[in-house]
């Protein structure tokens, strides 16, 4: 069995929240179709499965990936090293909302704390340029976002309300061209930053 498949199977067995298989296939197909994407930021490393997958699409891909859980971070670092990708996949142990960098990314993949998606998007907007793409997973959250009757857990319902509010905000955010794929993975949105308006361009020159 391939080592990457072992990482996948172990994560599933341990109930580690990695992306659904069809969602991962969608993400990797997107990267293969867009050869301009080189520098990636990931919020939510888990055990490094998605970061490794993304880095292996092309030899010149780099991934900065952020994880808040120390145990998962250690596992991810080990998995990345065993794949020989430590020069292109940089794991950071931190809260994504506190990560600071001047780097500009081609793609930002957000699959971390669901209730914090908007916060992460705004935090990292300064690390984007026109054409940068945000990809968000879990915007359906097992169907509960659109059908709250599927859960009677108060915490889950509060979280899914936040996801629904974020999803609606994202689809109406004029800074992005957004496409939502409800039947892909657990609900995936692709939001591409639009070109700056003439006003923004003029402001930037002042």
What structural domains does the chain harbor?
A: 3-205 (3.40.50.150)
Which CB contacts under 8 angstroms, 24+ apart, belong to 118-121?
118/166, 118/169, 118/170, 120/43, 120/96, 121/170
Residue 206 scores a pLDDT above 50: no
pLDDT computed for residue 204 by the predictor: 42
More confident residue, 16 or 99: 99
Per-residue pLDDT band at 201 (split at 50, 70, 90): very low
Query: pLDDT digit string (tens) for 163-194?
Result: 889 999 999 999 999 999 998 988 899 999 99
Instruction: Lowest mean pLDDT of 23-32, 138-147, 186-195, name the range.
Output: 138-147
Q: Identify the three-state secondary structure at position 112.
A: coil
Q: What is the pLDDT of residue 1?
A: 56
pLDDT: is 78 or 115 the higher one? Answer: 78
Length in residues, the chain: 206
**Measured in whole angstroms, how far is the alpha carbon of residue 78 from the centre of its chain?**
21
């Amino acid at each position: 069995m391939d080592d990457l498949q072992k990482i996948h199977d172990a994560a599933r067995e341990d109930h580690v929240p990695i992306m659904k298989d069809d969602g991962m296939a969608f993400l990797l197909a997107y990267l293969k179709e867009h050869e301009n994407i080189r520098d990636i930021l990931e919020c939510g490393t888990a055990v490094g499965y998605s970061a490794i997958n993304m880095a292996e699409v092309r030899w010149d891909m780099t991934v900065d990936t952020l994880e808040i859980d120390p145990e998962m971070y250690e596992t991810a670092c080990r998995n990345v090293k065993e794949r020989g990708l430590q020069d292109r996949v940089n794991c950071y142990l931190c809260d994504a909302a506190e990560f600071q960098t001047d780097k500009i990314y081609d793609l930002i993949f957000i699959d971390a704390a669901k209730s914090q998606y908007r916060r992460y998007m705004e935090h990292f907007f300064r690390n984007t340029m026109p054409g940068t793409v945000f990809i968000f997973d879990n915007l359906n959250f097992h169907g509960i976002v659109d059908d709250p009757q599927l859960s009677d857990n108060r915490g889950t319902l509060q979280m899914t309300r936040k996801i629904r509010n974020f999803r609606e905000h994202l689809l109406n955010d004029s800074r992005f061209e957004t496409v939502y794929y409800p039947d892909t993975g657990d609900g995936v949105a692709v939001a591409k930053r639009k070109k700056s308006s003439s006003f923004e361009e003029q402001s930037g020159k002042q």
